[in-house]
């Protein structure tokens, strides 16, 4: 008889737990529906008013005001313009962090959207257009929505949610600190100590209504390199009287391409070396004294990364020397590989499937894009996933890449993102409190 009573008690306790979980999930779904219209409005407002890295003043003020209106404890000025919100649940439990990046890019928008950006800013001493060409406006609006959803059910949450609104994911201006690394240094993962962190990214790589996640290495490490070439200025009609840094720079660019094509086994180790800037001269008939190159390096393996850096240094210095010029190169530390914790990915992937449908969640190939979310993942287990933003009537072959002046997303992705972030947080907290 005692065994039967124990069995009935266990069954009743289990039924109550599952009923409670179902009730919380339903409440979250209802709140997602209720907040969707505001999420779309926030996203359009942020899109129309983009701000460059470490200059996200308007965006951070909007975020802080919204979090305070929800009764969430707010800290501002983290890593210059970052915002941290702390939502304490009604029951004890673990601490989960949800992150969104806030910065735009020096890109002049060409989408033609009614809320397209017309903002101008300054980047590296130049006047530039400013655009949310990487979708960070969506990330901010999604996390603002998730904050409202989770605040509405906080009494049923066993633990704490930290909202990390991060500046300068695209990299702080040269000579400044910023981004995830600076947020961590200023205590973003402490008080209370974070047990795990979750982030997302939107793109047209997948159709709206789909998501993808990959355990272990997902996105590449990235480093910026800067090359300064010193030649000898002369008249353009007498180039033999000087040393042309433009020609030297062109040969360096060509030499750098052989690193990937001829010096790395790319069947085993994906590598990218791209020169994105080449600046020299002020007049058509003057051979200038200097030229400057700047680019990016993408790798997935620390040993390969070191080898590629050495090869780049050799190409730069020896090509310059062969032409009678000199060259210096600086390679910054950059960001590490975006690495999803295997156990956390296994734990949270079913939640992603519950929101999008198992048939709509896939495992992507490794991505040569980079994310400074990886700094958070170096400190605590992290789960980073992609959500689709490509309109259903746009074929994959016509997908517009992030960082394009034509980049846009289907706003149907927004409520799904809010739902995913909210459920991932609540499911993680419930599992940790059991």
- pLDDT, one tens digit per residue, over 320-365 is 999 999 999 999 999 999 999 999 999 999 999 999 999 999 999 9
Res. 19 pLDDT band, cuts 50 70 90? very low
Q: For the chain, what is the largest distance between any 2 Cα atoms, rounded to a whole number of angstroms?
A: 106
d(CA 266, CA 146): 40
Res. 16 pLDDT band, cuts 50 70 90? very low
Percent of the chain past pLDDT 70, that is, above it, reads 96
Which helix (DSSP H) or strand (DSSP E) does residue 330 occupy? strand 326-331
For residue 92, the model assigns a pLDDT of 96
d(CA 137, CA 49): 9
> Does 10 score more than 50 pLDDT?
no
Per-residue pLDDT tens over the stretch 389-431: 999 999 999 999 999 999 999 999 999 999 999 999 999 999 9
> Does 18 score more than 60 pLDDT?
no
Percent of the chain past pLDDT 90, that is, above it, reads 93
DSSP category for residue 405: T
> Does 287 score more than 90 pLDDT?
yes
Q: What is the rounded average pLDDT for all residues in the chain? A: 95
Looking at the DSSP bridge assignments, the partners of residue 224 are: 296
> Does 188 score more than 50 pLDDT?
yes
Active site annotation includes 169? yes
For residue 9, the model assigns a pLDDT of 41
> Does 165 score more than 60 pLDDT?
yes
Q: Which residues of 420-434 are buried (b: 16+ CB within 10 A; e: fewer)?
A: bbbbbbbbbbbebee
Choose, from 169, 170, 207, 372, the residue flagged as catalytic. 169
For residue 171, the model assigns a pLDDT of 93
pTM here is: 0.90
Q: Answer whether 168's CB lies under 8 Å from 54's CB.
A: yes
Res. 434 pLDDT band, cuts 50 70 90? confident
For residue 227, the model assigns a pLDDT of 98
CB atoms within 10 A of CB 114: 7
d(CA 170, CA 52): 9
For residue 39, the model assigns a pLDDT of 98
Choose, from 51, 101, 103, 371, the residue flagged as catalytic. 103
Active site annotation includes 122? no
Q: Which residues of 344-367 are buried (b: 16+ CB within 10 A; e: fewer)?
A: bbebbbebbebbbeeebbeeeeeb
Looking at the DSSP bridge assignments, the partners of residue 99 are: 164, 199
3-state secondary structure of 366: coil
Q: Answer whether 212's CB lies under 8 Å from 362's CB.
A: yes
- Helices (DSSP H) in 49-178: which residue ranges? 57-69, 136-152
- Structural domains of the chain sorted by starting position, each given as residue range(s) with its CATH number in brackets: 2-219+342-433 (3.40.630.10), 221-331 (3.30.70.360)
Q: Answer whether 66's CB lies under 8 Å from 45's CB.
A: no
DSSP category for residue 359: G
For residue 20, the model assigns a pLDDT of 78
d(CA 38, CA 229): 51
Q: Residue 264: which of 228, 327, 296, 306 has the closest Cα?
A: 306
Residue 65 Cα distances to 61, 84, 122, 316, 356, angstroms:
6, 12, 27, 49, 31
Q: How many helices (H) and strands (E) does the chain have?
A: 9, 18
d(CA 348, CA 192): 22
Q: Answer whether 291's CB lies under 8 Å from 231's CB.
A: yes
ω before 406 within 30° of 0 (cis)? no
> Does 11 score more than 90 pLDDT?
no
């Amino acid at each position: 008889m005692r065994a039967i009573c124990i069995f009935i008690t266990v069954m009743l306790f289990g039924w109550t737990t599952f009923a409670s979980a179902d009730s919380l999930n339903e409440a979250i779904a209802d709140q997602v529906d209720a907040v969707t219209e505001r999420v779309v409005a926030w996203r359009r407002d942020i899109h129309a008013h983009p701000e460059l890295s470490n200059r996200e003043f308007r965006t951070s003020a909007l975020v802080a005001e919204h979090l305070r209106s929800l009764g969430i404890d707010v800290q501002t000025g983290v890593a210059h313009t970052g915002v941290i919100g702390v939502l304490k649940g009604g029951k004890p439990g673990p601490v989960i962090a949800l992150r969104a990046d806030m910065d735009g890019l020096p890109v002049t928008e060409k989408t033609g959207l009614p809320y397209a950006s017309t903002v101008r800013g300054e980047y590296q001493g130049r006047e530039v257009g400013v655009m949310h060409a990487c979708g960070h406006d969506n990330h901010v609006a999604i996390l603002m929505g998730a904050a409202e959803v989770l605040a509405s059910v906080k009494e049923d949450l066993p633990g704490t949610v930290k909202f990390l609104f991060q500046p300068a994911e695209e990299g702080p201006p040269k000579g400044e600190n910023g981004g995830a690394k600076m947020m961590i240094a200023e205590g973003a993962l402490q008080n209370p100590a974070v047990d795990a962190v979750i982030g997302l990214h939107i793109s047209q790589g997948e159709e709206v209504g789909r998501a993808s996640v990959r355990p272990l290495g997902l996105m590449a490490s990235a480093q910026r390199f800067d090359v300064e070439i010193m030649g000898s200025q002369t008249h353009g009609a007498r180039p033999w009287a000087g040393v042309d840094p433009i020609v030297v720079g062109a040969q360096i660019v060509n030499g750098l391409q052989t690193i990937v094509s001829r010096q790395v086994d790319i069947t085993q180790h994906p590598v990218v070396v791209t020169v994105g800037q080449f600046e020299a001269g002020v007049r058509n008939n003057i051979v200038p004294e200097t030229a400057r190159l700047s680019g990016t390096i993408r790798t997935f393996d620390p040993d390969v990364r070191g080898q590629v850096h050495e090869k780049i240094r050799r190409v730069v210095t020896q090509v310059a020397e062969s032409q009678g010029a000199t060259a210096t190169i600086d390679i910054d530390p950059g960001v590490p590989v975006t690495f999803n914790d295997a156990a956390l990915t296994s734990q949270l992937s079913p939640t992603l499937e519950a929101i999008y449908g198992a048939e709509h969640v896939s495992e992507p190939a490794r991505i040569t894009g980079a994310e400074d979310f990886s700094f958070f993942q170096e400190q605590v287990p992290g789960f980073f996933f992609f959500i689709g933003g490509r309109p259903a009537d746009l074929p994959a072959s016509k997908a517009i890449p992030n960082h394009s002046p034509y980049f846009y997303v289907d706003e149907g992705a927004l409520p799904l993102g809010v739902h995913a972030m909210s459920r991932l947080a609540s499911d993680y907290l419930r599992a940790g409190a059991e």
